[in-house]
Amino acid sequence: MPSAKKFSSKKYSRVLLKLSGESLCGESSHGIRPEALSSIVSEVKLAVDTGVHLGIVVGGGNIWRGEKDRGEAIGRVTADYMGMLATLINALALQDALEKLGVPTRVQTAVEINKLAESYIRRRAIRHLEKGRVVIFAGGTGNPYFTTDTAAALRAVEIEAEILLKATKVDGVYTADPKKDKKAVKFDLLTFMDSIQRRLKVMDATALTLCMENRLPVVVFDLAVKGNIARAVAGQKVGTLITTE
């Protein structure tokens, strides 16, 4: 495993990392796999050791995918709230695993559950970051009809992050799904407008628009490659960079 010294010259002082819930279940279809969780927190620690202020937004798709799982028995709004609770489960798992590695953390949630996590307060979140704590944001935006990608964009802007890092299962953004289309071509650089107009499914349009309007760059990269989070923090070339120009 790479050492933090290799990435000591960080480019960004504060970043927001977006993790999908699916990244926690590894090769399984549901749940949290201990080996997947351990691998992710080791990568996060490597980035934290460079001295960067790190916020994390985690999804809940490994536990509940409202659009897919709710069927006709559960309404969209209720299903979305259930998804917010799933993100809190994942956030608590990340917190516990990170703290076992000696990384101080706080979980803040947009859906108030006082016995488990702090309620989201922007100024308090920034203060935690300034003290070197990783802040894990759960509960999405706290509202139905918004994805955790939009929550990531919103929190990144609120905490004044310099870049949003979106960890995925592929090594960047392609013209098509590279697992289904062998002719798919990878982009090294994209504009937000191109991403929206081409409907590349990098993030939902609301998230992309929010980043574009606030001139917040996004890097889409492969989480499975060891050291990629720290490389992105150091400003090294990984995945696809999406900017306003």
pLDDT at 145 over 90: yes
Tokens standing for 231? 């490389």
pLDDT at 118 over 70: yes
42-58 pLDDT, tens digit each: 999 999 999 999 999 99
pLDDT at 242 over 60: yes
CA dihedral sign, ordered 5, 107, 170, 30:
positive
Using 50, 70 and 90 to split pLDDT, how confident is the model at 8? low
Position 136 scores a pLDDT of 98
- Residues above pLDDT 70, as percent of the chain: 96
Report the amino acid identity of residue 59: G
147-169 pLDDT, tens digit each: 999 999 999 999 999 999 999 99
Position 112 scores a pLDDT of 94
Which structural domains are found in the chain, ordered by start?
Answer: 4-243 (3.40.1160.10)
Position 1 scores a pLDDT of 54
Q: Which residue has the higher pLDDT, 177 or 76?
A: 76
CA atoms of 19 and 241, how far apart (whole Å):
17
